[in-house]
Structure 1
Amino acid sequence: MANLCKSSLFYSDQHLCYADILPPSEVRARIEVAVLNFLKILNSPVPAITDLPLINRRSNNSRVSRGLLADVSSIFLSHSFCTRSLMKANATKAFIRVWKVMEVCFQLLVKEKRVTQRELFYKLLCSSPEYFTSELQVNRTIQDVVALLRCSRYSLGIMASSRGAVAGRLLLQEPGQEILDCSACGSSGHAITGDLNLLEKLVIQTDARYITVVEKHAIFHRLAEDCIFNQIPSILITAKGYPDIATRFLLHRMSQAFPDLPILALVDWNPAGLAILCTFKFGSIGMGLEAYRYACNVKWLGLRGGDLKLIPEESLVPLKPRDLQIAKSLMSSEILQENYKEELEIMVQSGRRAEIEALYFHGYDFLGKYIARKIVQADYI
């Protein structure tokens, strides 16, 4: 199995690692090579069970690749390996999980089917309950398979589960379907599909001048209901919290299709809000070898420290232990640019946090005015 890691299929001499988007036939071939290598070791004159060499997905193995021609930086993983082994008691089940997930993915690719991660979990829960007891185990194992085969989870036949929505001055057209006007989808917006292949094939058009990423669905709902995209020609997009793959994929597609449109993030003034912004901007270690793929040049519109004068003292609440934990993680990361660090330091030193809803103190229509003023002043970083 050690040879698998260094074969031309699975090894690159480049400093940075990434997962490819591959056709089903090549993914099946990579799975077959993995199995054949394993069987070869078992049938050798001196049989041995070796380790599965996987790319280490810890933050200490991450690197930030900064764009030379564009203001876009992305998180990559380097060539530092971890292992799953049948010879170590605490890794045996994780070792077997890799083969179980590869088996199901191979069957999916043969049948030309796709499943969501949740569907995959229930399939594995029924067929191998002694190995899979939670979705977290399935997610980690998927990332193990991605790290072993160097292909994206979508290439394995696993669809993204999407929570996201989009609204505003955006026209979408699926192949062979009528054009969908996202400005006429109501306050809930248009639900973003988890089928990345369909998102890739969408024909997209816009006359917008900005794209606004909104952290919270409630704020997205308010802005869509107020039709802010008519006051400020814009597209609204939300993942309803921490960004899912499909929402990030669509945002990345829009950033590629409309490279001149600034992407502005509206998040809470707390460490979690900044972490969400950074996930859209740089990617996330949790995505392993796919971390870089959906990064966009997102700017921080608000809330920021300079906006606290607009918020009543009573609306500022103490930071929670979880906030401090996220802040510590962000500060130790090399991805955070200097002005973001300064904002984070102010949060920690003040010991307080502010949510976007606090701006409603000035009336429910104030949020649109706040966004318009900051855009006119180009007050984003």
Structure 2
Amino acid sequence: MEDPRKSSMRFFSDQNLCHADILPPSEIRARIEVAVLNFLRILASPTPAISDLPLINRRSSNSRACKGLLTQVSCIFLSHSFCTRSLMRANTAKAFIRVWKVMEMCFGVLVQEKRVTQRELFYKLLCDSPDYFTSQLQVNRTIQDVVALLQCSRYSLGIMASSRGLVAGRLLLQEPNQEVVDCSECGLSGHAISGDLNRLETLILKTDARYIIVVEKHAIFQRLAEDRVFNQIPSILITAKGYPDIATRFLLHRLARAFPGLPILALVDWNPAGLAILCTFKFGSIGMGLEAYRYACNVKWLGLRVDDLEMIPEQSLVPLKPRDLQIAKSLMSSEVLQENYRRELEIMVQHGQRVEIEALYFHGYDYLGKYIAKKIVQANYI
């Protein structure tokens, strides 16, 4: 059955929306070959020239927040507004060459029918092209350039997601012809989420949970798993240990598709970074605007919320850092930020304070489960 999120693309009113395709290796190799042939054709013409590379613009000014008629989930998309990589401008020449180097490397990976992580790709490029690649960030940004040029997903390029994510609780996982993994018996470490999106897509999932709880912090996830909160509150716990990686977002999206009746609730710090993490799960990210809709889920803000501050001791309130204010400014300018989120963010900035989930330990180390249960009963999430 076709993913309703994908089919709903046909019903967006803005026909200029752009997205990355999931394509077979043969199609990706063909797109790379066409790009190379076009480049060579222009060089060999009677009036040779170096053409710019037209990339989908990934700036926030080119982002759109859209909701399809067949889904309640708003997602970040990019419009068909282009930027360029040029070999003729000194400040972009190296970035221009990096795109070709990464395409060359991806072509070889696809020919060999392999998968590589961004980290593996970095070390290979560092050895092969040290004049052009000196950091992981350069590789990550260039991969997104290639996605924006070829308009295909990273996974289609043979690039496997590196995963930090863990899952625990009332969930049975089974790869085809493999043993069943009971995520309630994995201890406080949980079960590691694979970075292979194809494996995640083919997982057989079973649950009797009533909620999916997304936890910002690894330490909080461990506390909830150790306390076996998922038995008190029938639930699946999932964490990306901070800002969500693609594999964790992909598994959450799979869970949302497999069990559409389960509310997805986020437990994050009451600070701009916590809200940014929630929004990444909920709407996607601008940097991955071409693929964001594939991983967006209808995540609801469980806590911490402004109405929780009355139970937090004053000593646990911490001043906002410059980085917090920078994140808050970015969120405020975002088209996707809904009004109730915006109001809460304004309160954070006005108070100049932040609160971490650990502040709830004032009420005892076993209080987190009680807090979650109370918030669910109140149903005070949106």
TM-score (norm 2): 0.96
AA in 1 matched with 2:96: F
Q: Structure 1: where are the runs of 5+ without partners?
A: 1-12
AA in 1 matched with 2:337: L
1:181-192 equivalences under 5 Å are 181-192=182-193
AA in 2 matched with 1:135: Q
1:58-207 equivalences under 5 Å are 58-207=59-208
C-alpha distance in structure 2 between counterparts of 1:379 and 1:350, whole Å: 22
What value does the CA root-mean-square deviation take over the aligned residues? 0.9
1:341 positional shift: 0.5
What secondary structure does 1:121 align onto? helix
Deviations 1:268-305 (A, max 9, x none): 00000000000000000121411222000000000000
C-alpha distance in structure 1 between counterparts of 2:228 and 2:128, whole Å: 49
C-alpha distance in structure 2 between counterparts of 1:199 and 1:247, whole Å: 10
The percent of aligned pairs where both chains have the same amino acid is 84
Partner of 1:374: 375
Deviations 1:99-123 (A, max 9, x none): 1000010000000001100000000
1:50 positional shift: 1.0
What secondary structure does 2:242 align onto? coil
Tell me which moved more, 285-294 or 312-321. Answer: 285-294
Q: Are 1:209 and 2:210 an aligned pair?
A: yes
Partner of 2:271: 270
1:379 positional shift: 1.7
Partner of 1:30: 31
1:191-270 equivalences under 5 Å are 191-270=192-271
What secondary structure does 2:290 align onto? helix
Aligned length: 369
| Contact residue 147 and residue 288 of structure 1 kept, 8 A | no
Partner of 1:16: 17
| Contact residue 76 and residue 289 of structure 2 kept, 8 A | no
| Contact residue 63 and residue 76 of structure 2 kept, 8 A | yes
AA in 1 matched with 2:120: E
C-alpha distance in structure 2 between counterparts of 1:191 and 1:214, whole Å: 15
Q: Structure 2: where are the runs of 5+ without partners?
A: 1-13
What secondary structure does 1:348 align onto? helix
1:70 positional shift: 2.8
TM-score (norm 1): 0.96
Deviations 1:221-247 (A, max 9, x none): 000000000000000000000000000
1:67 positional shift: 3.3
1:79 positional shift: 1.0
C-alpha distance in structure 2 between counterparts of 1:71 and 1:17, whole Å: 20
1:202 positional shift: 0.5
| Contact residue 21 and residue 155 of structure 1 kept, 8 A | yes
C-alpha distance in structure 2 between counterparts of 1:299 and 1:265, whole Å: 6
Q: Are 1:57 and 2:80 an aligned pair?
A: no
1:69 positional shift: 3.2
What secondary structure does 1:19 align onto? coil
Question: Which aligned segments of 4 or more residues in structure 1 are displaced greater than 4 angstroms?
Answer: none
